[in-house]
Each structure stands twice: as C-alpha cells, then as structure tokens.
Amino acid sequence: MRILITGVGGPTPRSFAVSLKKYSSYKPYELFGTDVNPLSIGLYQPELFDKSFIIPSAKTPGDYWQAIEKIISDNQIDLAVILPELEVMAWSERKLHGELPCKAMIPDLSIAKLLVDKAQMTTELSGLGLVPPSVEFSRKDKDLSRVFDVLGNVFWVRSTTGTSGLGSLKVDSPEALKNWIQINPGVEQFIASKFLSGRNLACKLLYYEGKLMRTACGERVNYIMSKVAPSGITGNTSFGRLLNEPALVETAKKAMDKMFEVSGAAKHGFFTADFKEDENEKPFITEINIRHVAFTQCFAAGGANFAEDTIRLLDGDATFDRNYKMYEFEKDLIFLRDVDSLPVLMKEGELLS
C-alpha cells in the first residue's frame, strides 16, 4: 500500500509512520513523505519513508496542489495522511469545493475552522460547562483589567490559534501579562482562562462517515525540552500514562456532538480533545486538535493503533470491526519518550526509585 504522509519534519507525521511500520501488520506499507523545509529530518529517514519530497507551502495553493498532484500521480499513491494543521485546512477546503486527489480522512471545513479558533470553540462550549471561564483579548487592548476582574490574579494565557502551547504562560500579575504580550509579537489574539491545577489529559476520537469508531485516553505528565518554554509545555510529551477513563470519553463525545451540531459538519475525521482538571478533578476542555498528535505511536505500542485504523477504514477493509470501541490498556501502563528514541512502555511501578 502506497501512502503519502505530509509534514514529516514534525514529530506527529513520523509518529504516524512508526505506528504503521513498527506496530501494524495490516499490509506491507510503502511510505512517501513531504515537507516544506529541506532541513526536515523526516525527509532523510529511509527506514520510515521510501521516498521523500520537498513541496511548496499550502500558503501558496497553486504551487502546493501542483506539487501534491504530481507526487500522487507519479507514485500511484493509494491514500494520503495529512497532518500539519495548515494542510488539513487546505485539504478541507478542497474537499468542500471538489474531489480530493486521492483518499484521505479529512474533516469538513466548517468544523476545522471552528476548532482551530480556540476562542470560538470556547464560546460554543461555554454553555455546556465543558470549558473553563475564559476571556479573549487583543494585543491592541489598552485596558486588560477585565481579564483580572473575571479570572482573578492567576490564570493561563495563550494564543487563540496555533499548536504546541503557542504563547502559553501562567500569569500572576498585570506586569507579567503585559510583558508576555510584548515578547510574543506574532500573536494578535489571546485567550485567558482559569488556571487549572490538575491532570493534563487527552481523548482521541476517530469518526468515519457519520459514526464514532474508536476512542482512547491518555495523560501528559512531562514534556520534552520543557525547560526551553516558559510555560513548561512544548507539545511533545516525554512521560505520560495510557488510561481507561470512560467518563472522560463521554465528556469528549458531548463536546464533539456540540461542535458537529454548531458547524453542521459530518461526523468524520480524527480529533484529539485536550483536557485540564481543576482542583476537584473535574476536566475542562482546553482545545480540540483536528489531527493526530505526537504520541500516537505510544498508543499504538499499547494496542490502540489509530494509524492502522485510519488506513483500514480508508482502504475499505471488510474485516474491520465497525462497532464502536474504547481502547482499554493494562493498568499502571506508562510511556517514556525522547527526541531521537522510540518510546518505552512499562508499568509505572517498575520505575527506578
């Protein structure tokens, strides 16, 4: 099976590739990688990608689609896995206006736009009590006192768009907020939310043609290179737990049902709902990604291979069980990750003391 994976300079596409090459036996895979940056490491990993290509950015649609269509045609690509957010949006828009150049699991543009805008997502979910109290503001706003009036003196602030905790910081004073705005000149709109001190959780949801197929939960505990980010969050988990939490799945499903209703989109695509718990262990949604995330290979190693599930559905595998399933893991199962290493799965009780 010949599969195109885009954005292979990032950890998520490479994690998806590892999930297929190391943990899937569905079919023999021939993987083709693309990236816009010639320095992307994934372009030079023949153990993962049989052939790699540098392509134009999706910000220049004409050049981008010309390159993508040529790669698909010349290499007889069976299906594509689109992972950078910018490219997901480009493929969603193309799906809205016509045919995709090959099979790919792409969400409708309406829900993609809704979820990429974290402020709008928060507004839509606020009536259900699924998001923390939040205030949106612009870097141009002169008076930020209303943020402190609503949230108190300690809160979490980040960009309303983007991934990997862009512009994120725990703020504890007006001076800290003003300084943070100044040193993030690329961020125009911010969202401040109640600071939540509990666990950092994720729920993965795979929808296909109107039906929820698979879910699984995990916890992010520590982050790779956390010291380089003032927030301590880099978007790449170094230590996490694979969890069995049906209540969290139900909360994620409730949020997604609302998002599908508001956007009018079909229940189709792969989504990762991120949660943070408060001091009473109540989870609140902080964002919903429209794609896989970097530790997808850790789920695959634990038996929840969403990458293989995606491929089997797109391939029309008649043996795939289309009944809903929440993946369950062994108790006490954790994963350890680092930049240049495959993940290690083990029982938390086996950690050295």
- SS3 of 273-337: the string is EEEEECCCCCEEEEEEECCCCCCHHHHHHCCCCHHHHHHHHHCCCCCCCCCCEECCCCCCEEEEE
Q: Spell out the CATH class of 200-350.
A: alpha beta
Chain region(s) in the chain for CATH 3.30.470.20: 200-350
With vertex at residue 79, the alpha carbon angle to CA 76 and CA 81, rounded to the nearest 5 degrees, is 130
CATH architecture of the domain with range 133-194: 2-Layer Sandwich (3.30)
Residues of the chain with CATH 3.30.1490.20: 133-194
The pLDDT tens digits along the chain (353 residues) read 999 999 999 999 999 999 999 999 999 999 999 999 999 999 999 999 999 999 999 999 999 999 999 999 999 999 999 999 999 999 999 999 989 999 999 999 999 999 999 999 999 999 999 999 999 999 999 899 999 999 999 999 988 886 555 557 889 999 999 998 998 888 899 999 999 999 999 999 999 999 999 999 999 999 876 665 665 666 688 999 999 999 999 999 999 999 999 999 999 999 999 999 999 999 999 999 999 998 999 999 999 999 999 999 999 999 999 999 999 999 999 999 887 778 899 999 999 98
DSSP 75-117: TT--EEE--SHHHHHHHHHHHHHS--SSEE----HHHHHHHH-
253: enclosing H helix or E strand = helix 246-263
State how far the Cα of 350 lies from the Cα of 333, in Å rounded to an integer.
10
Q: What is the spatial distance between Cα 41 and Cα 50, in angstroms, rounded to a whole number?
A: 14
pTM: 0.93
User: Under CATH, which number does the domain 2-104 receive?
Assistant: 3.40.50.20
Q: 43 near 33, Cβ under 8 Å?
A: yes
Widest CA span in the chain? 60
